[in-house]
Amino acid sequence: MLKTKKVFICGIIVLLLVFCFGCNKFSSGIGQTDKPLSPWDMDFHKGTKGLTMKLVENQPPSEVWENSVFQIAVELRNEGAANIKESLLYISDFKYVSVNKIRSVGDLTGKSATDPVGRLKIESFEVNALEVKDDDKADSFVVTACYKYETKAGIEICINPNVMDIAKLKEGDCNPSSVSASGGQGAPVAVTKVEEDFIPINDGGILKTKVLFKIHIANLGSGKLVKTDAFGKECIDGSSLDAEKESNVVHVKDVSFSKYSLVSADKNYKIDCTGFMNDTQSDLKIGVKGDAILSCSTVLDGNNAFTTPLLVELEYGYTDYITKSITIKNIPGT
């Protein structure tokens, strides 16, 4: 009897422990928990970073001797959600050293469930310090990274064709409103806000609803936004960009929701957008300060209300920089 009682008590204790563990597990969506997030629980389309870089410690050192060889080592990491397939490094502004200035970096995969921190790569340059004669010389250099990147933003919106007709509104239908999107989408260029409007129209004697979107797009990163086909211009020959045609230009690959799309071949589900530069129907000029607005519209086929992601796909080049100063030391007696 005593043994049976002990077994019963142990069973109760085990059940209580399981219950407490379960409470902690299932309340994790509400409060904090000591259960670590797995890579599959993380959302990688957040943040405003793409390719980040920093100099490896003491490479180069702050002081080097003339006529010596030293290393410049650059740590690169893709901290965004997109994969980098084309990227370049360029070293410039040295006066008293000789270095092979251009380097193709190649592929760098972005953050994902299998790689939650993004691909890391170190590029090393061999540098020859020149003779400075008589006195030490201060020198500095700039490391420029040029790469192609993309943004895929999914902003949840409400499509409600009946919003202009109170008699047709149903209880439980979603209510259209402006949607702000803070924190980025895992890339330096982001959709920051979407505004919606609905207009009743007469389409061949049939009353339909046109939905209007104002899509706000901004460069939230620390670098320079560059037109896609000019992404490597500053890294290949150090030349400047055409401020009007190449700087702060993003290519709009698609705007879509449900069965509607900017690139749809079916005119019944075609989204039309305005605000593109020079009638390109794809390139959008982003202001140096602030953002750009892409205005899009389509006529809705049906009267049902629903929520859906508005998907905005952008392609562009991006350029970022780091600098460092060093001293080239004169060897006494030379």
Per residue in 44-73, pLDDT tens?
Answer: 788 999 999 999 999 999 999 999 999 999
**214 burial level (CB within 10 Å; 0-12, 13-18, 19+):** middle
Helix or strand holding residue 14 (H, E): helix 2-26
Confidence of residue 266 (pLDDT cuts 50, 70, 90): very high
Alpha carbon separation from 71 to 92, 200, 305 (Å, rounded): 15, 66, 62
Write down the pLDDT at residue 304.
Answer: 86
Q: Measured between alpha carbons, how far is 190 from 240 in angstroms, rounded to an integer?
A: 25
Determine the topology of domain 51-148+321-329 in CATH: Immunoglobulin-like (2.60.40)
- Taking only Cα atoms into account, the Rg of the chain, rounded to an integer number of angstroms, comes to 28
Residues 42, 47, 53, 54: what is their CA dihedral angle, to the nearest 10 degrees? -90
State percent of the chain over pLDDT 90: 62
**325 burial level (CB within 10 Å; 0-12, 13-18, 19+):** exposed
> 209, 299 in Cβ contact below 8 A?
yes
Q: pTM of the predicted model, to two decimals? A: 0.82
Higher pLDDT, 116 or 298: 298
Tokens of 255: 């705007």
Beta strands in the chain (DSSP E): 51-55, 63-65, 69-78, 87-92, 97-99, 102-104, 120-129, 137-159, 179-180, 189-203, 206-219, 224-226, 249-257, 260-261, 272-274, 283-285, 292-299, 306-329
Q: Per-residue pLDDT tens for 21-49?
A: 444 433 333 333 344 544 444 577 889 99
Confidence of residue 287 (pLDDT cuts 50, 70, 90): confident
* Average pLDDT of the residues of the chain: 85
Question: Domain residue spans in the chain?
Answer: 51-148+321-329, 151-317
Confidence of residue 168 (pLDDT cuts 50, 70, 90): low
76-102: average pLDDT? 92
Distant-in-sequence, close-in-space partners of 177: CB < 8 Å, separation ≥ 6? 158, 196
Q: Per-residue pLDDT tens for 192-247?
A: 999 999 998 887 888 889 999 999 999 999 999 999 999 998 888 666 788 888 99
